[in-house]
Amino acid sequence: MSKHTPRPWHLEPSPKGGYNIRDTFNNYPAIARVYDVGEVGEAEANARLIVAAPELLAELQTIIDGWTNVAAHVRPLTEWEAERLEWAKVTVADTESETVK
């Protein structure tokens, strides 16, 4: 599976309503489009969440690397920490999966 479009992403209002999610180079077509179909402000909030996705993914990977290092070199993880680490790894793996859930 291909990697996602490199970050950063930004949003811009669409002339047809809603928002376009674009990469740094404003390539066409947009990475995604979010339409106004719900509550006032909902489309913009959804678009902002999508725009943040690459940064959130990168930060989650940093957290995974940090806790993996702690487990390997500092101390055993607590059950709670180990469960969260596993959840984070599964979440990142899902972004690389060829199967859409």
Lowest mean pLDDT among 35-39, 44-48, 49-53, 56-60: 35-39
Q: Which domain holds residue 41?
A: 9-96
Of 55, 54, 65, which Cα lies nearest the Cα of 88? 65
Are the CB atoms for 58 and 7 separated by under 8 Å? yes
Name the percent of the chain lying above pLDDT 70: 94
Specify if 1 maps to a domain. no
Specify if 3 maps to a domain. no
Domains identified in the chain, total number? 1
Specify if 73 maps to a domain. yes
Q: Which residue type does 80 have?
A: W
Specify if 101 maps to a domain. no
- Asked if residue 1 has pLDDT above 60, the reply is no
- Asked if residue 6 has pLDDT above 50, the reply is yes
Long-range contacts of 90-98 (CB under 8 A, 24+ apart): 91/60, 92/57, 92/60, 92/61, 92/64, 95/4, 95/57, 96/1, 97/1, 98/1
